[in-house]
Amino acid sequence: MKVLKRIGIVILSLLAIFLIVFGVYFAYMQMHYYRIPDHKSLQVKNNPKQILQVGKQYSAITYNVGFGAYNQKFDFFMDAGELKDGKKTHGTHGTAFSKKAVLASTDGVIKTMHRQNANFMMFQEIDTHSTRNYYVNQVRMMKEAFKRDGSVFANNFHSAYLFYPIYDPHGSVQSGLLTLSKYHIDSSVRRKYPVTSNLITKFTDLDRCFVVMKIPTSHGKQLILINTHMSAYDKGGKMRKAQMKLLSSVIEKEYNQGNYVIVGGDFNHALGRDMLHHFDHQEKVPGWVSVLDPMMLPKGVEMVKAKNREKVATVRSTDMPYKPKVNYQTVGDGFIVSKNVKATAVNINTDYQYADHNPVRLEFTLRK
- Tens-place pLDDT, residues 46-89: 999 999 999 999 999 999 999 999 999 999 998 999 999 999 99
> Quick check: 19 pLDDT over 70?
yes
pLDDT for residue 138: 98
Q: Angle 205-179-105 (CA atoms, 0-180°, nearest 5)?
A: 70
% the chain with pLDDT above 90: 75
Cα 176 from Cα 202, distance rounded (Å):
16
Whether the Cβ atoms of residue 126 and residue 202 lie closer than 8 Å to each other: no
Q: Is 109 helix (H, G, I), strand (E, B) or coil?
A: helix
With 90 as the cut, is the pLDDT of residue 115 above it?
yes
- Expressed in percent and rounded to 5, the helix, strand and coil fractions of the chain are 25, 30, 45
- pLDDT for the residue 254: 97
pLDDT at 357 over 90: yes
State the pLDDT at residue 29. 63
Residue in 52, 303, 366 with CA at minimum distance from that of residue 186? 52
Q: Which of 285, 319, 314, 356 is nearest to 93 (CA)?
A: 319
pLDDT in tens, 300-318: 999 999 999 999 999 999 9
DSSP SS3 for 185: coil
- In the predicted model, is pLDDT for residue 194 greater than 80? yes
Task: Give the pLDDT score at 173.
Answer: 93
pLDDT bracket for residue 17 (50, 70, 90): confident
**pLDDT digit string, tens, across residues 226-236:** 999 998 876 66
Average pLDDT for 151-175: 91
Task: Over range 149-156, report the average pLDDT.
Answer: 97
d(CA 328, CA 320): 10
The gap between the terminal CA atoms of the chain, to the nearest Å, is 91
State the number of CA atoms in the 13 A half-sphere of 219 facing the CB.
17
Residues in the chain: 368
Written in H, E and C, the secondary structure of 268-311 is CEECCHHHCCCCCCCECCCCCCEECCHHHCCCCEEEECCCCCCC
pLDDT range class, residue 201, cuts 50, 70, 90: low
Question: Is the confidence at residue 350, as pLDDT, over 80?
Answer: yes
Cα of 125 vs its chain's centroid, Å:
5
* 26 has a pLDDT exceeding 80: no
Whether the full predicted model's pTM is greater than 0.85, yes or no, is yes
The DSSP symbol for 341 reads E
Beta strands 222-229 and 260-266 are: parallel
Lowest-pLDDT range of 24-38, 212-226, 270-284, 328-342: 24-38
**Cα 264 vs. chain centroid, distance in angstroms?**
11
Sequence-distant (6+) residues with CB within 8 A of 259 are: 221, 222, 223, 224, 338
Instruction: Please give the pLDDT value at position 157.
Output: 87
pLDDT at 24 over 90: no
C-alpha to C-alpha distance for 354 and 174, rounded to whole angstroms: 20
Instruction: Please provide the average confidence, as pLDDT, over all residues in the chain.
Output: 91
Band the pLDDT of 239: cuts 50, 70, 90: confident
Residues 338 and 251 sit within 8 Å (Cβ to Cβ): yes
Give the SS3 label for residue 314.
coil
Is there a contact between 366 and 223 (Cβ–Cβ < 8 Å)? Answer: yes
Q: Of 268 and 4, which is predicted with more confidence?
A: 268
Distance CA 295, CA 305 (A): 15
Report how far residue 268's alpha carbon sits from residue 229's, in angstroms, rounded to the nearest whole number. 8
- Give the Cβ contact number of residue 194 at 10 Å: 15
| Residue 198 binned pLDDT confidence (cut-offs 50, 70, 90) | low
